[in-house]
Chains A and B, each alone.
Chain A
Amino acid sequence: MIKLVKKFINKVLINIFQKKKHIKLGLYGPPNAGKTTLANRICQDWLGEDMGKVSNIAHETREIQIKEQISLKKDGKELSFNLVDTPGIATKIDYEDFMKVGMKEKAAKSRAKEATKGVIDSIKWLDEMDVVIVVLDATKDPYSQVNITIIGNLAARDIPVLVVGNKVDLKKANMKKVQAAFPQYELIGISAKYGKNVDEFYEALFVLAG
């Protein structure tokens, strides 16, 4: 864990000190975990605007979204990055699932089509990231292979990772279980929607960035 944190710190520091112009901070995770909700929270807090549309229907984000030059400032320190919100990664997409939540067949099919392209783009963009926040739904089974595949890939590519368990406002949220699934990662439980622990989340970003 310490090694990983160090790696994260080094990477961020090196990027900042080398004045690499824009570090790309990516939000990755399965569909519906709250990536866009967290992106909106970050953008609202630091820019006063939203980033993207949130929905309880999965695959709401189907194209890579980039918000440039977000600066977090605290105690004279500054952390700047381009925030990249990505489509949730899934191994299956069934248009009938969208129909079950009230979409018409045609709309459901085109959503499914766009969603498959979104997943492909998310995976293609993995290599572009300097730092990644993996957003998981803390009420869901953390052992889902998509989670493991994403985090494993980032590790294999040496991209520093911060794992966030979202939706801790819900009773079903189980951070212990998430931690058990990813024992060598530093985990933060937050509620992106209600702002719970979001200050600690920023804190973690700052600590990591020196």
Chain B
Amino acid sequence: MLTLQIVPYAEISGLSSIGRIRKLLNIAKENKIVLLEGRLTKEEETELIKVTMEEINKNFRGIELAVLEPEQGDMGGLAKIRKGFANVLLGNRTGLTVIGPANVVKQIKKDPNKIQLLTQESRSRKKKKKK
């Protein structure tokens, strides 16, 4: 069974960077897919990867991560960084962050404005699409 947990931005906006990462990672470690409204800062993203690596064990093999940026069009993910520098540094409530535990989500395919989660059990049979 697949569980999605939606995390509104308000639930992380008041937390410290470490607090945010802890909260999101704890959900993923319960084998749930996290849908976060908004996104982390770039530094928090690398911190998330670091903490994930520290906690990998027999039961937790890491995460699949994808960040959808708003109004990206065909500009690609980094246009935003150059355009809205402050936004990147501060994190943002726009966009969408998907964090899937690696044992549940095999792969996240991302096009500029579409995310596909390929889940473990299903491979090609069941594809979950998100717009």
Contact = CB atoms under 8 A, between A and B. Distances in A.
Contacts of A123: 46, 49-50
A44 interface: no
Given A94-B102, A156-B81, A156-B88, A145 B62 contact: no
Contacts of B64: 91-92
B54 A120 contact: yes
A94 B62 contact: yes
Contact of B78 (A120, A126, A185): A185
Contacts of B76: 180-184
Contacts, number: 99
Nearest to B45: A149
Interface in A97-143: 112, 116-117, 119-120, 123-124, 126, 141, 143
B75 to A, nearest CB: 6
A143 B46 contact: no
B4 interface: no
A89 interface: yes
B78 A152 contact: yes
What DSSP secondary structure best describes chain A's contact surface? helix
A119 B53 contact: yes
B15 interface: no
Contact of A91 (B49, B75, B89, B110): B49
A181 B89 contact: no
Contacts of A144: 110
B74 to A, nearest CB: 7
Contacts of A181: 76-77
Question: Which bucket holds chain A's interface residue count?
Answer: 20 to 34
Given A119-B53, A152-B81, A180-B76, A145 B65 contact: yes
B111 interface: yes
A14 interface: no
Interface in A52-83: none
B22 interface: no
Interface in B28-63: 41-43, 45-46, 49-50, 52-54, 56, 61-63
A93 B43 contact: no
B45 A153 contact: yes
Given A149-B65, A155-B78, A180-B74, 17 more contacts: A90-B62, A91-B63, A91-B64, A92-B64, A92-B102, A93-B61, A116-B54, A119-B53, A120-B50, A120-B53, A126-B46, A146-B49, A148-B77, A152-B45, A152-B81, A153-B43, A183-B79
15 contacts: A91-B49, A91-B52, A91-B62, A92-B52, A94-B62, A116-B54, A123-B50, A143-B112, A145-B66, A145-B67, A152-B42, A152-B81, A156-B81, A183-B76, A183-B79
